[in-house]
Structure 1
Amino acid sequence: MTVDRLFQMFPPSPDLIESSPDRCRACAVVGNSGNLIGSHYGPLIDFHDVVIRMNTGRIKGYEADVGIKTTHRIMYPESAIDLDNSTHLVLFPFKIQDLEWLIKAFGTGFSGRSYMPVKSTIKANKDLVMVTNPGFMRYVHEIWLEKKGKYPSTGFMAVILALHICDEVHVFGYGADRDGNWSHYWEKLKDKKLKTGVHPGSNEYNIILQLAKQQKLKFYTGW
């Protein structure tokens, strides 16, 4: 029932740049690591056809290091932000409430509860909404991560999604900062022993390094 309503509200097929012999779809996946500070990657990131950002990753005040272009923003109800009219909202659902939130946030407003406050309504272009099959997260957890950690991070999911929809994948803003903390570039770190919680951060990071070594993607380490 919920899925039927979802398909009535949002496009049934994704709005993607199609693959063709004369086009190379270059994608920048921009993580939220503190190692972006001072990187001056902004212009390089903006040069890509597709720029994927996630959750509440900020742009204002950090343009020189993170760029200004966003074509796709991956989020959960718990990390939702308003988007402009040309950015795709990409939802990685893993519980039925995520789908219910999406339907209601574009309509009368969502009033359910989660493990943290959830935005009741959202501003975004309904025609650019993309929802991955919930089986995608399971596939990433079981095949790519061999069931390590409770579930994959949004960042790792974004990299695997990019490998599926892009010809060239360039990865920015992943891994620890220069002090070994897994921090966000827009936050002042209070907990100096900050690690990755329920996500298998070092496993994910090592897989990205391995993919870079195999030239499946290009990895920019920052600073």
Structure 2
Amino acid sequence: MRKLAAYFVGSALLASLGYLFLGIWLFTPRDRERAGAFEDAFVDARDPYRLYMNTSATLPPVGGAIRHYKSLLDNEPVTLRCSSCAVVSSSGFLLGKEAGQEINSHPCTIRMNMAPVEGYQRDVGNRTTLRVMNFFMTGLKPEELPSGSRVMVWGLFRRSVYLERARNLTGRLSAVSTFHGQTVEGEGEAAKLFTKETGQPLGGTKSWLSTGWLTLMIAIDVCQEIHVYGMVTADHCAHNPQKDFPYHYYNNRGKECSIYRGAELNKRGGHRFMTEKAVFARWALRYNISFHYPEWELDKALANLDTPFLKNQGRRPS
């Protein structure tokens, strides 16, 4: 009996010592860090949003686009800087939202192409600080741009006909207006960014960047805060199949969701609007970007690029 009792006492002591050493090993600072890293990795495996954010060191940089725009008058760089910008889309989604007063509250307002404000002030505001336009728009008449206009045109220097038109237009603008064109290097950088974000080559898939893509790249450089108005999420049309609206708030040339669906899968070439918006959601996780009318729930943003275009290319969501 004494031997049996001694055996049990010894076993209990050994077990206690074992738990003591185990506790010391588990709760040293180094091992707590290891345990935390293991826990983070486990969470990341289930959470694409967090996985995307935790790989930010390897993500392609978006900023720096404005260094590739130079003045057509004197080759000077873009000097505009704003504490807060309203980036106003041309979408008909803004109709009836009465967002104009909120848009006007920002120090700077960025518009795309020649989207008008006259007659739509209640929904889109009445101030314009900068217009980002594609090269097709260079056939404008000088009177169509108010005195003091700031214009940035993308895709210009690779197309000599449009570049010549832009130079003619610039020479006829008021002295206080500015007109910057994107260089060939800048256009190439924007295309490479699309490839890095999506895994798909722009030219190889006959995809075209939209003015919205170039505008947001510019805004990330110019604005400390970016507030985007009237831009729907990548999956908005899929979740609202019966609710379409004008592609532009100022005309009735097509419905937005219908155009998005057609362009996303057009093998002959097109803008990949839905895919771009999925990428914009990713940028919003890294930069100071928020979306209004509609609001984007960025905690549930499309960190997975699960769009019709990428599915059609055979890419798995990432």
Using the size of structure 2 for normalisation, the TM-score is 0.54
The DSSP-based 3-state class of the residue aligned with 1:29 is strand
Deviations 1:40-93 (A, max 9, x none): 111111122221111121211110110000011122353354211122021112
Greater RCO, 1 or 2 (C-alpha within 8 Å, sep 6+): 1
**How many Å separate the matches in 2 of 1:98 and 1:31?**
24
Report matched runs for 1:1-223 at 5 Å.
Answer: 10-17=73-80, 25-80=83-138, 81=140, 82-92=144-154, 93=156, 94-107=158-171, 123=173, 125=175, 127-146=177-196, 147-148=201-202, 150-175=207-232, 179-180=243-244, 183-190=247-254, 193-195=258-260, 197=263, 198-214=270-286, 216-222=288-294
Name the count of aligned residue pairs. Answer: 198
Q: Which has the larger radius of gyration?
A: 2
Displacement over 6 Å in runs of 4+: none
Kindly indicate which of the two structures has a greater share of residues assigned to helix.
2
**How many Å separate the matches in 1 of 2:208 and 2:176?**
28
Deviations 1:108-150 (A, max 9, x none): xxxxxxxxxxxxxx65556411222232232222213543552
**How many Å separate the matches in 2 of 1:95 and 1:30?**
27
**How many Å separate the matches in 2 of 1:156 and 1:141?**
10
- Pairwise CA RMSD of aligned residues? 2.9
Contact 2:110 2:128 in 1 (8 A): yes
Match in the other structure for 2:316: none
Contact 1:30 1:54 in 2 (8 A): yes
**How many Å separate the matches in 1 of 2:222 and 2:170?**
26
Q: Which ranges of structure 1 fall in alignment gaps of 5 or more residues?
A: 1-6, 19-23, 108-121
Using the size of structure 1 for normalisation, the TM-score is 0.75
Q: CA deviation at 1:8?
A: 9.0
**How many Å separate the matches in 1 of 2:77 and 2:104?**
22
